[in-house]
Structures are given as structure tokens and as C-alpha cells.
């Protein structure tokens, strides 16, 4: 008998939480290995030992599964960024740009999820789910804006919020171009296309430093 065949509905809050965590772990592994295309609901269900119909007891769609994964990843990113910024001397823009860039690069799954947030993850989900995600992002953004304001006392909170939003937008835009499919990798390896290659570590750091300089 397979795990899916022996599936029993979770009824207690702890059991429900455990089932959700199983699905999130399966989704994370598939997403890392195959990208969003490989993290379909059938694949997530099979990897977690569920049937597709049973997944709907815990999530409304595979997009909601990935959104929940994004919530966890985004919180981890913000926690790490705040901790890193707290050790930066006041007003040291270069060190802040380094710290922020390092935190993004250390979390490729989060960056990949950010890059498809609007185009993919907010499709096929309810308004309530999108509102929950926006609320979560707002709460986490407020934390990192406060941490940045503490390191850049001459910048206004509004300008710090703008800089953080722009850095996030740059990550979303850069990430797909820096991680193209195999055919794209082969083309970009040609000398004539060298100027089109994106190096997130180099380019994000430079852009972050420029943005932070503009608000002090």
C-alpha cells in the first residue's frame, strides 16, 4: 500500500500543520530541482505521499503552496538582512550594499520566488490569499526599513522604504535573466553576447549602493 493509498485525513491542528509542512517540504525540493514548472500540484502531492484531491484539504492551489513557501523564505531573508545590517557602521553605504546583496544571494529559492510573485504565484488564488501575502510582505518590509533607517540616520523612513522596494524590484527583474534555460546559457556563453550576461552579485551590489547613496 502506497503512502497516498493509506492517507488519513488530519483533524487535529497539529496534524493539519504537519500535513502542510510535508507539502511545503515537497514543493521546496521540486522547486529547487525543476523550477516552478516542475512544482505542479500532481508532483507535489506525489512527492509528499498525497493524492491531488487530498492536497486541496490544505491548500487551494499549487500557487498557494508556493506562496506559503515564499512567506517562510521571505521572513528568513528579512531576519538575515536585519542581523547583517545591525553590524554595519552608521552611514556605511558600501557595507550595507554588501550585506543586502549577500543575503539575497544566499537565498536563491527566495529570489526565484520573488521573480515570479506577480506573474505566477498570484494567479489561481483568492483575493484573501493575495491580501494575506501582501500583509505579510508589508510587515516584513517594515522591519527591514526600520533596520535600514537605523543605519542611515540622515535618510527619511519614506526614502528607506523606497530604496528597499527598488532593491526588491531589481532582484525580481535580474533573477530570470541571470538564470536562463540551458539554451539561453549556451547563447550567452558566446563572446558576442558577453555584454548581456547578468551577474547578480556584481550588478545588485552596485545598484543597491547607488540607490542608498541617492537617499542620504
> Higher model confidence: residue 216 or residue 14?
216
**Grid coordinates belonging to 47:** 512527492
Cα pseudo-dihedral 194, 196, 201, 203, rounded to 10: 120
pLDDT of residue 106: 97
pLDDT at position 5 over 80: no
pLDDT of residue 10: 57
DSSP letter string, 39-92: --HHHHHHHHT--HHHHTTT-SSHHHHHHHHHHHHHHHHHHHHHHHHHTSPTT-
pLDDT grade for 9, boundaries at 50, 70 and 90: low
Contact assessment for residue 171 and residue 115, using Cβ atoms and an 8 Å cutoff? yes
Query: Torsions phi, psi of 198, nearest 5?
Result: -105, 130
pLDDT at position 74 over 90: yes
pLDDT of residue 14: 84
Residues 131-136 have a mean pLDDT of: 97
Residues 120-124 have a mean pLDDT of: 94
Can you tell me the distance from the alpha carbon of 68 to that of 66, in angstroms, rounded to the nearest whole number?
5
pLDDT at position 39 over 80: yes
157-163 contacts: CB < 8 A, separation 24 or more? 159/215, 160/215, 162/215, 163/208, 163/211, 163/212, 163/214, 163/215
pLDDT at position 26 over 60: yes
pTM value is 0.89
Residues 75-85 have a mean pLDDT of: 98
Amino acid at each position: 500500500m502506497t503512502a497516498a493509498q493509506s492517507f488519513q485525513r488530519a483533524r487535529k491542528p497539529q496534524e493539519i500543520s504537519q500535513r502542510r509542512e510535508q507539502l511545503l517540504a515537497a514543493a521546496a525540493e521540486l522547486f529547487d530541482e525543476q523550477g516552478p514548472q516542475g512544482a505542479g500540484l500532481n508532483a507535489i502531492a506525489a512527492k509528499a505521499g498525497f493524492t491531488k484531491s487530498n492536497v486541496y484539504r490544505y491548500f487551494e492551489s499549487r500557487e498557494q503552496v508556493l506562496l506559503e513557501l515564499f512567506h517562510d523564505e521571505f521572513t528568513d531573508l528579512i531576519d538575515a538582512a536585519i542581523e547583517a545590517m545591525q553590524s554595519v557602521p552608521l552611514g556605511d553605504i558600501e557595507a550595507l550594499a554588501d550585506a543586502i546583496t549577500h543575503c539575497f544571494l544566499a537565498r536563491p529559492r527566495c529570489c526565484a520566488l520573488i521573480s515570479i510573485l506577480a506573474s505566477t504565484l498570484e494567479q489561481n488564488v483568492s483575493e484573501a490569499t493575495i491580501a494575506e501575502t501582501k500583509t505579510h510582505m508589508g510587515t516584513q518590509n517594515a522591519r527591514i526599513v526600520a533596520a535600514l533607517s537605523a543605519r542611515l540616520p540622515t535618510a527619511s523612513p519614506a526614502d528607506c522604504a523606497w530604496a528597499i522596494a527598488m532593491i526588491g524590484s531589481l532582484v525580481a527583474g535580474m533573477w530570470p535573466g541571470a538564470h536562463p534555460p540551458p539554451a539561453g546559457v549556451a547563447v550567452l556563453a558566446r563572446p558576442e553576447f558577453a555584454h548581456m550576461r547578468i551577474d547578480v552579485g556584481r550588478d545588485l551590489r552596485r545598484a543597491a549602493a547607488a540607490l542608498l547613496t541617492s537617499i542620504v
